[in-house]
Amino acid sequence: MTTEKIKVAIAGGTGYTAGELLRLLINHPQVEICSVMSTTSAGRPITDFHRDLLGETDLKFTDNPGEPDVVFLCLGHGLSREFLTTHTLPAHCKVVDLGQDFRNTPDFEGKHFVYGLTDVFKDEIDGCDYLANPGCFATCIQLGLAPLAAMKMIQDEIHVTAITGATGAGRKLSETSHFPYRNDNISVYKSFSHQHLEEIGNTLKVLSGQPQTVNFVPMRGDFTRGIFASIYTRCTAPAEEVTSIYKEYYKSSPFVFVSDAPISLKEVVNTNKCLLHIESHNGYIHITSIIDNLLKGASGQAVENMNLMFGLERTTALHLKANAF
């Protein structure tokens, strides 16, 4: 376990995931933030973009990573490889990529990126140097299916409908992220073709030993943050048996909980939790899985992984309360 503070750099510092990282790391007892990078906003206070941090920090954006012990890459998809090619980091510097560059192609210029689904691959994450943080939908869906896959209980196609908040689209405005479109609205997008399907398939194959078919319909919600996933597949085991299997599988996970009662999204928003609920209906098992897309689905899981990479208690800086009312 490290005794000196971990020097952290964040690349792509103006986005939502960077803002959440800053909110967590400013209050992390083992961290010193040495650099928050933005090529377009160097020299400006980070509170110009992250107004919720006003009074919490005087940090300014820079265009130089400095000499960090770990760098978080909060860049647009496809830009992490470019960053690592064009920037020189200290030899000891660890990398946590929150984009999708290394989730499915983990080897790059002699570096191997471990897939950072914390509650499934903790042993591989412990002490690793390069980590690919999972996608938000992927995290929610995989945590809902991992025990079933690990117990070789998936015998048929999997059907998923999941709805995400507006922050899932990122900070850059588009027609479908503007308030007039999102407010009082719901829509399907990228049905059966979402980019997170590949990483979901990879994990299920590793756990079950065979390819699995996942029929995934993602939806845009009219709320700010969170993911609510409804998952079902054929399974003859009763809900009580499957619930016991899930509770045993996640018994050492500090943020994944199986609820005996039905769950709702507000119970996880602003936390690093994943809540699960299991029911059985006419030969199908139905799993509800919920997370905050910016925390367990992105920055919270990234900090949890950083803690493991540096030998810290994995819950450090992540004891957060949901805004349930």
Lookup: tokens for 267:
């119970």
Q: State the alpha helices, DSSP H only, in 31-171.
A: 79-86, 118-125, 136-150
**Catalytic: 136?**
yes
CA–CA distance, 199 with 205 (Å, rounded to integer)? 10
Backbone angles phi, psi at 232, to 5 degrees: -145, 155
CA–CA distance, 154 with 58 (Å, rounded to integer)? 51
Q: Is residue 188 within 8 Å of residue 176, measured between CB atoms? A: no
Q: Is residue 92 within 8 Å of residue 61, measured between CB atoms? A: no
User: How many Cα atoms sit within 13 Å of 144 on the Cβ side?
Assistant: 32
Say how far residue 26 (Cα) sits from the centre of its chain: 19
* 116: number of Cβ within 10 Å: 29
Assign 139 to helix, strand or coil: helix
Lookup: tokens for 14:
């103006």
CA–CA distance, 293 with 235 (Å, rounded to integer)? 28
Quickly list DSSP for 283-299.
Answer: TEEEEEEEE-TTIIIII
In eight-state DSSP terms, residue 266 is: G
CA–CA distance, 73 with 115 (Å, rounded to integer)? 15
The residue from 34, 74, 128, 136 that is catalytic is 136
Say how far residue 80 (Cα) sits from the centre of its chain: 16
Catalytic residue ranges: 136
